[in-house]
């Protein structure tokens, strides 16, 4: 299956991206005209982002297929390039809240499990940059299996610690636990406990599912937390129990919209400042017994929700 997927996806993606770059003058002209007519810079910015992504991916694919000698350095370089491109094209800034750990501090201690809020397309790239470049940690990432269709991620998964999970369940928990158990000094495992981007329909479905399942207390708590999805315990607890010596970096942010919630995927965030709060929790303060770890996650996620609500600009 892997060989067939790569035999199909790599040529298709390469051909499409080469075509995009060859026709860049025409597409940029059309996007520029559309921006003038629509009185919005978003069409032109979108075209620039698509072309930049195509250029980055083709360059990275060439390096991967040619035999990359330093995979960790390549990952950090690619993340930094994409982050700088987003900053330049969209005029989006990432600002760490006062009191967050300084650059390099997490890398100086134990391995780290990062529990991050997930809200809207693109925020994961800023989070990855913060961990890999600002905090200088070697990234281990849990991703949805669908992302294997992206050739760069698919091929990189043979050389860097990426964990692709198809769905929640025992196998996914076992894979996450094994990845967490492999962490060593300077490593960071990035998890998104919510399991997906926040959206109001997802939030309503999650609350309804908890009520339907008879988890009335959890449902009421989830209904009060209107800026986050209920965290899934399985993967997080698997990581915490299999890496008892790991610190936890709790990461939340304001997202790309005024109310701190979701935005339409097609509406690029332009001229935005994303405020990020990180808290480094020593390993000794994190419970490792499954039930206690699950309760701890619920408590900390309530704090995440309250912080987002407090820092949103739409009242």
**Is residue 236 within 8 Å of residue 281, measured between CB atoms?**
no
**Is residue 177 within 8 Å of residue 239, measured between CB atoms?**
yes
The contacts of residue 299 (CB under 8 Å, 6+ apart) are none
Residue 91 lies in a domain: no
- Work out how many domains the chain is built from and give that number: 1
Residue 87 lies in a domain: no
Q: Tell me what pLDDT residue 77 has.
A: 92
Q: Tell me what pLDDT residue 315 has.
A: 42
For the chain, give the DSSP string.
-HHHHHHHHHHHHHHHHHHHHHTHHHHHHHHHHHHHHHT-SHHHHHHHHHHHHHHHHHHHHHHHHT--S-HHHHHHHHHHHHHHHHHHHH-EEEEEPTTSPPTTTGGGSS-EEEEE---STTHHHHHHHIIIIIS--EEEEEEEGGGGGSHHHHHHTTTS-EEEESSSSHHHHHHHHHHHHT--TTEEEEE-TTSS---HHHHHHHHHHHHHTT-HHHHHHHHH--SSPPPPHHHHHHHHHH-TT-EEEEEEE--SSTTSS---TTS---SEEEEEEEEEE-GGGS--SHHHHHHHHHHHHHHHHHHHHHH-S--
Block residue for tokens 């940029």: 28
Task: Tell me the pTM.
Answer: 0.91
| Dihedral (CA of 179, 181, 184, 190) sign | positive
Residue 8 lies in a domain: no
Distance, in Å, from the CA atom of 247 to the CA atom of 252, rounded to the nearest integer, reads 16
The contacts of residue 54 (CB under 8 Å, 6+ apart) are 16, 17, 20, 21
| Mean pLDDT per 10-residue section of the chain, whose length is 315 residues | 90 96 97 95 95 95 85 90 94 92 77 91 87 93 89 90 82 92 94 88 92 91 92 94 96 84 74 92 95 95 94 64
Distance, in Å, from the CA atom of 181 to the CA atom of 168, rounded to the nearest integer, reads 19
Q: Tell me what pLDDT residue 165 has.
A: 87
Residue 65 lies in a domain: no
Residue 168 lies in a domain: yes
CATH of the domain at 247: 3.40.1130
Domain of residue 285 covers 97-311
Residue 293 lies in a domain: yes
Residue 6 lies in a domain: no
Q: Indicate the burial class of 221 (C-beta count within 10 angstroms; 0-12, 13-18, 19 or more).
A: middle
Residue 192 lies in a domain: yes
């Amino acid at each position: 299956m892997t060989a067939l997927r790569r035999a199909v996806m790599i040529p298709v993606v390469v051909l499409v991206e080469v075509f995009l770059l060859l026709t860049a003058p025409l597409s940029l002209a059309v996007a520029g005209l559309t921006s003038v007519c629509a009185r919005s810079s978003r069409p032109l910015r979108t075209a620039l982002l698509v072309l930049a992504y195509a250029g980055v991916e083709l360059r990275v694919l060439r390096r991967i297929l040619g035999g990359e000698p330093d995979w960790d350095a390549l990952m950090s370089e690619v993340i930094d390039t994409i982050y700088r491109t987003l900053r330049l094209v969209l005029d989006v800034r990432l600002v760490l809240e006062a009191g967050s750990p300084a650059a390099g501090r997490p890398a100086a201690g134990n391995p780290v499990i990062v529990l991050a809020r997930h809200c809207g397309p693109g925020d994961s790239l800023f989070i990855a940059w913060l961990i890999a470049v600002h905090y200088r940690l070697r990234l281990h990432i849990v991703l949805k299996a669908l992302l294997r269709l992206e050739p760069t991620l698919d091929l990189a998964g043979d050389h860097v610690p990426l964990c692709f999970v198809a769905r929640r369940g025992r196998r996914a928990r076992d894979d996450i636990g094994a990845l967490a158990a492999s962490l060593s000094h300077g490593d960071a495992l990035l998890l998104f406990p919510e399991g997906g981007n926040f959206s109001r329909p997802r939030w309503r479905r999650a609350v309804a599912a908890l009520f339907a399942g008879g988890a009335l207390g959890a449902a009421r708590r989830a209904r009060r937390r209107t800026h986050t999805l209920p965290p899934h315990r399985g993967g997080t607890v698997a990581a915490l129990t299999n890496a008892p010596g790991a610190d936890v970096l709790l990461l939340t942010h304001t997202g790309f919209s005024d109310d701190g919630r979701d935005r339409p995927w097609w509406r690029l965030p332009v001229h935005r400042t994303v405020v990020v709060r990180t808290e480094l929790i020593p390993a000794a303060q994190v419970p490792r017994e499954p039930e206690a770890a699950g309760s701890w996650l619920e408590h900390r996620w309530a704090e995440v929700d309250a912080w987002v609500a407090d820092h949103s600009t739409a009242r």
